[in-house]
Structure 1
Amino acid sequence: MVCGETVWGSKPVYLERRRNRYLAFHDIPEDVRSAFGGRKRFSQSTETGEKNLARSRAAIFERQWRKEIDRARKKLCGQVDLDDEAAFFRRALKETPEHERPILLDHIAEIAEGRIERAAARAGVSDIHDPAYDDLPVNAEADRFFASATGKLVPWTDHLDEYMDRLEREVEKKTADMRRSIIERFGAKFAHVQDVNRKEVQRWLDGQVSKEGRSPATMQSHLTSLRAYWDWLVSIEVAPEEVMPFDRLTKPKANQKQTKADERREFTPKQLVAILRAAEERQARTGKDQPLVDLIVLGMWTGCRREELGKLKVAHVHGDHFVVEDAKTSAGWRAIPIHSQLRPTIDRLTADSIDGYVLPSTAKSQYGDRSPPLGQKFGRLKTRMGYDDRYVFHSIRKTFATMLKQVGEDESVVADLMGHEYKTMTFGHYASEHGLDRKRAAIEKISYPL
């Protein structure tokens, strides 16, 4: 190890699938393994079998592991973490009276100059007029430290907690946490607000798609979150108003042929019945999978999202219909008639409920999600039956919509049943939801080869 140099000597984070879960790994460079008890790599479960989600979680692990490696290397070299020290002086300057700030600024300058002098001595350069003195790599590091410590350079995440306090009052915690993750990952590339410009953002965007394998749709979502954070930094006068790094970018386009091949597929009614029968047979053998059977049945006859069913309460069931009150969008808050074929299942589940929810759950989600364990069971079941990653529980929702389309049902009625927003101003802004009788007539047209 050569102190003062950044040498990773290890490949980026990588994934391995074990027992239907992806594990994330990151090699520990040889020069710092002693700081980690001789370990050769970090490892942590992503707790998911979905590869894209695993990649997202692995990126969070990687940022932390790289920070740990960097801290270990600096500690072994007896170095001070300049980012932490710069943050200390920024806070100190804010708290120091105006007439005393020049003294503190001089002290910060002495620290920066001292780093250069020590580096020069190690390099055998004793004359400050020697051209080699100005060519020392530590000069750029010292200049950056001084700019950061005096507030001329603002770390990208310096005001993130303040922003999140505001955001968490406006959106669900799960959404807020996702946006924080996006902003923090961006900060791994752009350390300071002043580093962010349109040219570099365009390069980063292209690299995320071409090298990291992220989809254009995912990156569009990321840009939306990053632009919102930037606008807030502008509003508190941290970022320059005249710089618009997230606007007028050339968006990467998806490969239409590949997108079509990879898009989510629907089950045919016959396939869905076969999956239901397989779940019932497993329940008959093990006595443990009745909630999975019930989840599939509920999805088949309602077209609801998995978590909508997971959060459905007994109090939301009203005779011949139930009400979805915890949906993703305002249009998702809706009344759904209970199909005659679903009636016995609903009656049994509401009668047997012990916690106020229609479906029992063993979930322990920090966001209150109740359906993931059942979703994982469904994923394992459909995989055993030969269905690939294009088939998920949401595929049942696509089946539901397709069946209503095939019987000639009006699109606006289907939208009301599924909780979709209308695309037109007339329907979307002015029209009210169809009544229960109209929706019941539509939903009763659905039939499976049971």
Structure 2
Amino acid sequence: MPDNLIQKKNEQTWYVIKQIPKDVRRALGNRSTFTKSLKTGLRSEAMKRRLYWLAQWEADIAAARHAKAGAGDEWRLAQHTVGLDLQQRQTNAVTKIYTPRNPDAAPADISWFEMLPEMVRELRDEGQNEIADRLTSLARKHVDVLENGVNAGEGINLQHEFLMIIGDLEAACTAEEYNLSDEEHSEAQSIARNPTIYKPRSPISPSMIEAWAKHLATQIKSEKTRNSCKARVEKISKFLTTEGAPLNFDTIHKFLNKQGGASQTLANYVWSGRNFWKWASRYDPQFREQFTGQPCPFDGHDLPKTGDSVGKSYIPFTRIEVEQLHKKAKEGGKDDLANLIVFGAFTGARLEEIGRIKPEHTIFDHAGEPIGFKINESKTDAGVRDMPLHPSLVTLYKNLCSQASANDGYLFKGGNNKYGNRLDWLSKQFGHFKTKAEFSKLHVFHSIRKTTTTELHRAGVGLEVLPYIVGHEHKSFTLSVYSAGCSFEQKQEAINHLTYHFSTD
């Protein structure tokens, strides 16, 4: 019937018919075909009328498949949970029933057997006649149990047979709830009987992570930070799949314990997971439906507050140590690194802020002399600022500006790593250099920024000016909300308090 038309025996009326795919038959009333009278004996008219019903049925099939796809692996996970529960109950039964053969042995626990009559009645009422028959057979086969008792071995066999029937009953209920095909129903039975054949997949799918990553691009400016967040959630998802574990507080607690590392590292995992959970609960319908009403599994974790795992912040160099690093860099012929150290010490600017400065960012006085520069690109909005030049930095600044044409228009020669960081190569050079000078892992180029902040603070620069120099958010509500910030002259006066004795050889 290539045209989907048939005529029944002894009838002139045409019918349209369509086979229902096995995977959606249960969802569509347990039928194998759709059939509809077209109420015409004219084949030409029937050919036209059939199109409406064929299109409707195709839509019904697509909707049924979409609903199943939306549920994903929920039914397998449900049967896996059932199987684990039955497995545990069987283990408990064996432990309780089996005892050495002696006169004082406790009688077998057959409380489950007393439940059979009521269960059979309920199953009959619900149309589960096949399973009701199996329970009835079990009861008749062992009708003498209540009168004569049972030994340990028989008790274990009875319990096992009973639990297998319960597993099949759960599979039937799951098949009904999720509109499973016959093949899927059979798989549900197998999972309940042997839960190890299915390992639950993470509810955090790759497509969900990609969609969340696009959302992060509208929330977090730094690509490196976004990629780190994404990598953390991908690692959490992989852990869930590998462990075959659900997404809940206990599993995340186990995951965090396996990570080790500093408290801040664990806090980053918690933050990334919580951010994903918040997004998925709002914008992913399947995730929202699956976890509605459940608490966020990333909330409430007590992270380390004492010991080595707490983690430590970067340590500032002393003023003398910065001067010594500069001297050794000069002696070693590392002029770019030496210039970077001087620039960082007299500005407190972040590495990539320095790497983005161009001659056209210069601020001039009325005589045309450079007195500062603009930082137009920073990791935060507060980092975008006008920065005064320390008098001791002016000569170097002019020299760097004169060489900018050889550095793609920037003061410092640079390249681009995958995140677009120009001075990554100098950062690595500084890392090797300070390690050779026997400084700790907590001493990095960012430590010079801390040195500058420390020197300014000790020189009496107050918090009404200091955050505007280093590009931090101001903690004061009044200053952050109502003030336009301190003047360039105030920052200039403050920066002039810095004193370094850098060698010029």
Bin of the TM-score, shorter chain as denominator length: 0.5 to 0.7
CA contact (8 A) 1:190 1:196 kept: yes
Displacement of 1:202? 2.6
| Partner of residue 165, structure 1 | 214
**2-structure distance, mates of 1:403, 1:335:** 20
CA contact (8 A) 2:245 2:251 kept: no
Say if 2:191 is the partner of 1:140.
Answer: no
The percent of aligned pairs where both chains have the same amino acid is 23
CA contact (8 A) 2:304 2:310 kept: no
**1-structure distance, mates of 2:228, 2:379:** 15
| Partner of residue 251, structure 2 | 200
From 455, 460, 468, the counterpart of 1:408: 460
Displacement of 1:412? 2.2
**1-structure distance, mates of 2:62, 2:317:** 72
From 353, 370, 388, the counterpart of 1:308: 353
**1-structure distance, mates of 2:496, 2:248:** 56
From 262, 270, 278, the counterpart of 1:215: 262
Displacement of 1:165? 2.3
| Partner of residue 267, structure 1 | 317
| Partner of residue 178, structure 2 | none
| Partner of residue 119, structure 2 | none
Letter of the 1:99 partner, please give it.
Answer: I
Q: With structure 2 as the length reference, what TM-score do the two structures score? A: 0.58
Unmatched 5+ stretches in structure 1: 1-88, 113-127, 284-288
SS at match of 1:322: strand
CA contact (8 A) 1:416 1:433 kept: yes
Letter of the 2:362 partner, please give it.
Answer: V
Displacement of 1:422? 1.2
Displacement of 1:291? 1.5
Letter of the 1:168 partner, please give it.
Answer: A
| Partner of residue 435, structure 2 | 383
Displacement of 1:443? 0.5
Displacement of 1:333? 0.8
Q: Deviations over 1:302-361 (max 9, x none)?
A: 011111111222222222111111111111111110010000111011111121111111
Displacement of 1:376? 1.0
Could you say which structure has the larger radius of gyration? 2
Say if 2:398 is the partner of 1:343.
Answer: no
From 426, 440, 444, the counterpart of 1:392: 444
| Partner of residue 117, structure 2 | none
Q: With structure 1 as the length reference, what TM-score do the two structures score? A: 0.64
> What's the Cα RMSD here?
3.4
| Partner of residue 449, structure 1 | 501
Structure-2 change in CA distance of 1:432 and 1:103 (3 Å): closer
| Partner of residue 277, structure 1 | 327
Letter of the 1:356 partner, please give it.
Answer: G
Structure-2 change in CA distance of 1:387 and 1:247 (3 Å): closer
**2-structure distance, mates of 1:326, 1:406:** 28
Structure-2 change in CA distance of 1:290 and 1:103 (3 Å): closer
| Partner of residue 190, structure 1 | 240
**2-structure distance, mates of 1:267, 1:399:** 6
Letter of the 2:279 partner, please give it.
Answer: W
**2-structure distance, mates of 1:177, 1:299:** 27
SS at match of 1:335: strand
**1-structure distance, mates of 2:263, 2:480:** 27
Displacement of 1:255? 1.8
CA contact (8 A) 2:479 2:485 kept: no
Letter of the 1:358 partner, please give it.
Answer: L
**1-structure distance, mates of 2:373, 2:346:** 13
Q: Deviations over 1:395-424 (max 9, x none)?
A: 111111111111111122111100111112
**1-structure distance, mates of 2:358, 2:449:** 20
**1-structure distance, mates of 2:261, 2:237:** 17
